[in-house]
Chains A and B, each alone.
Chain A
Amino acid sequence: MSLTTADVEHVANLARLGLSEDETELLRSQLSSILEHIEVLQQLDTGRIPPTARMNSLTNVLRDDVVQQSLPQIVVLSNAPQSRDGFFEVRAVMTEDTAEGGSA
């Protein structure tokens, strides 16, 4: 499995991960090599094997819907790089350039 530079750039974009050109090239070769090792799984016939997604038999763990004390707003905001009026402050999510701003 050999990845192209475009493959790496596509995945980096999905992961919102800024990479330099050097990093992109290094990851292209390293990920290609790791994927080659992972190819070993294709030797196994798993057609009739159910997937395992969780490690114990607990399912639909529910609790009573009771209001509980939560952390004070000032404490939750204390680690924020930027906050204003009780909110986390970020650059505008919606912009006129929807390609960059990210319309759904």
Chain B
Amino acid sequence: MHSDLTRFSAAGARAALDAGEFSAVDLTRAHLARIDAVDGDVHAFLHVMGDVALAQAEAADVRIASGEVLPLTGIPIALKDILVTIDAPTTAASKILEGYVSPYDGTVVARLREQGAVFLGKTNTDEFAMGSSTENSAFGPTHNPWDLSRAPGGSSGGSAASVAAREAVIALGSDTGGSIRQPAGFCGVVGLKPTYGRVSRFGLIAFASSLDQIGPFSRTVQDAAIMLNAIAGHDPRDSTSVPDIAPDFRAGFRTDLTGVRVGIAREYTVAGMEPGVTNAVAAAAKQLEDLGAELVDISLPHTEYALATYYITAPAEASANLARFDGVKYGLRIDGATLQDSYRATRGQGFGAEVKRRIMLGTYALSSGYYDAYYVKAQKVRTLIKQDFEEAFKQVDVIAGPTSPTVAFGLGSRMDDPYQMYLADIFTIPANMAGTPGVALPCGFSEGLPVSLQLLGKAFDEQTLLGIAHAYEQSAGWHKHTAKI
């Protein structure tokens, strides 16, 4: 018998479940007990779905007994609280949606149900996924399992922390400017943002519709591929999801990188980078070389403009998407003397400071007289950023660099200066602007905190990206280190 069922990867748990070493109920109880034990300190979860999870686990055991299993049957999973679910509240960590229960499941949620996965609960996030530390949650921050005084990153900080603290085997998050990769990096786990259009966004509460993409957090690259296999593929309910048949994302797994060309972008070294990050990422590049890859110096010349482009595009789209929260059809309503007053009061009291800031910034950028100077300008620069990647990928198979310029920063340390907070995402934002995939994975430690390697790939070539990531992970072994909580 295994002493600790919370140390399994999804692939490892699959084999053990199918061999009858323990049941899905055992596995689920172990994770619920773990949540009980540590989540008072970590606060990864906004809602724990204990009864739902145990019922799903019992159903999974029936399937396992009959041999009718899919890769995630009986695997305990956490869902970012921005993915709508019929059997638990979905709040986007906002007071404006407190207590809201969706009348339908998001497509990824429905696909996981069909697999027979177990839903442990809904995880904390910055309100409406706007932030880089999970401190913008209306329900209190999540704490980094490696050091509880530090931020887990964000916005999907709850999902990242749940996997790092062994409260969940895999978690789902969403990535608009780095909201999967950056918290994965801060929490020392794997985080994958798929290509835009790879995974249906139906049932993901919209932040910035041309940037948002759902993806997994896991302890291994293989588990990320298994989760992507489960959630990828066309959905008629999302007109931006591509009609291509999703391949097996493990198909590119390899151990030798001979013939692989890895781009090192000179723009991914910036002032203010921590030496511990620079050193660990340089060592990772060396490791890729030792595995047979050729390192190629490249340039992504418009990188310095990506942050500004993002902070026009994303708030502009958000200001339109969040117009629906008006106290009419769902959520909070603060009544006023007129309908217009009700809108203003509801939104004024329901939204937190960062969400208001972005709605204001986006509304300004779209307003009469500023639309061309800001919004259209940003869309044009977006073209240049996209072209940078297209040019780079003519020379290389992937681009390697740091996920973030720093390791996890202290809770509260950046809340007074919004722009300082935005800088946490400078290396992750360009891939969202270009719609290309990226994966963050552990590559060492600095001052006892995880450092993360980001690999960026070509659009719709997650196989190559994950194949290279898997080779690095297996040879480097950093994924075997776990937070001591």
Residues of A within 8 A of B (CB): 7-8, 10-12, 14-20, 23, 27, 30-31, 33-35, 37-42, 44, 46, 49-56, 58, 61, 63, 71, 75-76, 78-82, 88, 90-93, 95, 100-102
Query: Which A residues touch B309, using CB under 8 A?
Result: 41
CA–CA, A76 to B101, complex, Å?
A: 11
Tell me, rounded to whole Å, the shortest Cβ–Cβ distance linking B126 to chain A: 17
Query: Which B residues touch A12, using CB under 8 A?
Result: 360
**Are A23 and B363 in touch, CB under 8 angstroms?**
no
Tell me, rounded to whole Å, the shortest Cβ–Cβ distance linking B357 to chain A: 6
Is residue B378 within 8 Å, beta carbon to beta carbon, of the partner chain?
yes
CA–CA, A31 to B68, complex, Å?
A: 55
**Are A17 and B312 in touch, CB under 8 angstroms?**
no
Tell me, rounded to whole Å, the shortest Cβ–Cβ distance linking A64 to chain B: 10
Query: Which A residues touch B342, using CB under 8 A?
Result: 90-91
**Are A41 and B319 in touch, CB under 8 angstroms?**
no
CB within 8 A of A49: which of B240, B349, B374, B380? Answer: B380
Q: Which of B304, B349, B378, B434 has the most CB of A within 10 A?
A: B378
Known: A15-B360, A30-B418, A52-B386. A58 touches B345 (CB 8 A): no
CB within 8 A of B338: which of A8, A18, A95? Answer: A95
**Are A102 and B435 in touch, CB under 8 angstroms?**
no
**Are A38 and B311 in touch, CB under 8 angstroms?**
yes
Known: A18-B349, A34-B418, A56-B197. A79 touches B330 (CB 8 A): yes
Query: Which B residues touch A56, using CB under 8 A?
Result: 196-197, 240, 242, 435, 459
Is residue B344 within 8 Å, beta carbon to beta carbon, of the partner chain?
yes
**Are A38 and B312 in touch, CB under 8 angstroms?**
yes
Beyond contacts A34-B419, A37-B311, A79-B329: 11 other A-B pairs, Cβ-Cβ < 8 A, are A16-B344, A31-B361, A31-B364, A35-B361, A46-B377, A46-B381, A51-B376, A51-B380, A71-B103, A79-B101, A91-B338
Q: Size class of B's contact patch?
A: 35 or more
Tell me, rounded to whole Å, the shortest Cβ–Cβ distance linking B189 to chain A: 26
**Are A18 and B345 in touch, CB under 8 angstroms?**
yes
**Are B329 and A80 in touch, CB under 8 angstroms?**
yes
Main secondary structure of the interface of B (DSSP, over half): helix
Query: Which A residues touch B101, using CB under 8 A?
Result: 78-79
Can you give 8 A-B contacts (C-beta < 8 A)?
A16-B340, A17-B348, A31-B357, A35-B361, A35-B364, A37-B311, A52-B383, A79-B100
Known: A15-B359, A30-B357, A52-B383. A41 touches B331 (CB 8 A): no
CA–CA, A10 to B368, complex, Å?
A: 11
> In this complex, what residue of B is CB-closest to A48?
B380
CB within 8 A of B360: which of A11, A33, A55? Answer: A11
Known: A51-B380, A55-B240, A56-B196. A11 touches B308 (CB 8 A): no
Tell me, rounded to whole Å, the shortest Cβ–Cβ distance linking A35 to chain B: 8
Tell me, rounded to whole Å, the shortest Cβ–Cβ distance linking A8 to chain B: 7
The 10 closest A-B pairs by CB, nearest first: A18-B348, A51-B379, A55-B435, A79-B330, A81-B333, A18-B344, A46-B380, A61-B239, A16-B343, A55-B196
> In this complex, what residue of A is CB-closest to B336?
A91
Tell me, rounded to whole Å, the shortest Cβ–Cβ distance linking B267 to chain A: 14
**Are A41 and B378 in touch, CB under 8 angstroms?**
yes
Is residue B254 within 8 Å, beta carbon to beta carbon, of the partner chain?
no
Query: Which A residues touch B211, using CB under 8 A?
Result: 55
**Are A8 and B240 in touch, CB under 8 angstroms?**
no
Known: A23-B356, A79-B330. A38 touches B374 (CB 8 A): yes
Query: Which A residues touch B379, using CB under 8 A?
Result: 51-53
CB within 8 A of B340: which of A44, A49, A102? Answer: A102
Query: Which B residues touch A81, using CB under 8 A?
Result: 327-328, 330-333
